[in-house]
Structure 1
Amino acid sequence: MANKLHGKRIAFLATDGFEQVELTEPWNAIGDAGASVELVSLEKGQIQGVHHDKKGDTFNVDRSVDEVSASNYDGLVLPGGVFNPDALRMNPTAVDFVRDFFKQHKPVAAICHGPWTLIEAGVVEGRKMTSWPSLKTDLINAGANWVDEECVCDEGLVTSRKPDDLPAFCSKAVEEFAEGKHAEQTV
């Protein structure tokens, strides 16, 4: 799997309050598969990870969302945590960035509370998805077909529920990023 993603560039979109393991494990798996990974956030500087309700480490941001475009990447990862996606979905530039991956038919992987940003981007209708259980009603109300499964893939959109699902999530994300564009993936 070492060079499965050679030449691919994957964005991780996160801000303060992301669930640290939901960024670091996919980051390592995707990087180990040969991709170039970049941390994109609302502002340059550092962002604060969390371990559930306790502070985690800080991470250096590679680029702000104001200076990137989905066209510069081959895929997107949205880690969870409660505060992180809540802040992202309130930022129009971040929401547009996420939506553009779907317009360009590029694979996206979201775990835990990460799908909140997908709801705001208007890209979940008609899709089979999973998430942290508290998002079930939000996803159903936005038109998704919510299921309680470890990992779900629907035309390049990979979703998982929680940190326990990370092995399956990382494996499927790498597979989808390697596959590339999905012609059936639309907004």
Structure 2
Amino acid sequence: MTTPSLTGKKIAIITENGFEEIELTSPKKALEEAGATVHIISTHQTVKAWDADHWSIELPVDADITQVSSDDYDALLIPGGVINPDKMRMQKPFISFTQEFLEAGKPVAAICHGPQLLIETGLIKGKEMTSYPSLKTDITNAGAYWLDKEVVTDNGLITSRSPEDLPAFNKKIIEEFAEGIHLTRNSLAPSDVN
């Protein structure tokens, strides 16, 4: 089976300082190899990565999050790391930007601790998701169904647990981003149906 083409697609990666290096660089490379234009978006001009137990590379930022809209992009990627999502979920521009994608039914992918930002949107109730295991209770309390799988997809929402899941995560985000808008994103959860 051939890899779907993302030629003509623009993908947003939102991040703060402290993203887990491989959780940004690996998906970014996979998306670009599939033909996508990928922009790193933040409140800074450069962002610094964390690599396992130390600070590592610094990457240039393509756009300020306060200067862009979800209308400018076809899909959203949220890398993890312990520091990065915790910083983003406390800043309204990151929350609002993510909400716009979810409300529009555009594909959204998050790995490891990245789903912390998804929780803040208030839009994951009834969704099947995964994450780093320490977020299981938080995700469940937000009304989502937490599954212990390498990649979980629910109507264009793609989540994975950790860097070990990157091969499956990268493959799935390319498939889902190629599909585009998922119009039934805000449909009722199974428990809401009589």
Q: TM-score, normalised by structure 2?
A: 0.93
Q: Secondary structure at the match of 1:186?
A: coil
Q: How does 1:156-167 map to 2 (within 5 A)?
A: 156-167=156-167
Q: Give the corresponding residue for 2:63.
A: 63
Counterpart of 2:132 in structure 1 is: 132
Match of 1:176 in 2: 176
The 1:176–1:67 alpha-carbon spacing in structure 2 relative to 1, beyond 3 Å, is same
Q: Which 5+ residue runs of structure 1 have no aligned equivalent?
A: none
What aligned pairs does 1:18-167 form with structure 2 within 5 A after superposition? Answer: 18-43=19-44, 45-167=45-167
> 1:9-24 residue pairs with structure 2 within 5 A?
9-24=10-25
1:53 Cα offset (Å): 2.1
Q: Distance in 1 between matches of 2:18 and 2:78?
A: 12
Q: For 1:36-75, what per-residue CA distance to the aligned partner results, in whole angstroms no more than 9, with x for missing partners?
A: 00000123x1111011221110000011110010011000
Aligned-pair RMSD on alpha carbons?
Answer: 1.2
- Separation in 1 of the partners of 2:170 and 2:4? 15
Q: Identity over aligned residues, as a percent?
A: 48
Shift of 1:186: 2.3
CA deviation string 1:111-168 (max 9, x = no partner): 0000000000112110000000000000000001001100000000000000000000
TM-score (norm 1): 0.97
Deviations 1:89-128 (A, max 9, x none): 0000110000000111100010000000000011211000
Residue 12 of structure 2 contacts residue 41 of structure 2 at CA under 8 Å; is this kept in 1?
yes
Write the distance in 2 (CA, Å) between the matches of 1:186 and 1:51: 36
SS in 1 for 2:186: coil
Q: Aligned partners of 2:115, 2:123: CA distance in 1, in Å?
A: 10
Give the superposition deviation at 1:3: 6.8
Count of aligned positions: 186
- DSSP-derived class of the 1:86 partner: helix
Contact 2:4 2:175 in 1 (8 A): no
- Give me the whole-angstrom Cα distance separating, in 2, the residues matched to 1:56 and 1:121: 29
Moved more, 1-10 or 99-108: 1-10
Q: Which has the larger radius of gyration?
A: 2
Q: Which runs of 5+ in 2 are unaligned?
A: 188-194
- C-alpha distance in 1 between matches for 2:53 and 2:113: 14
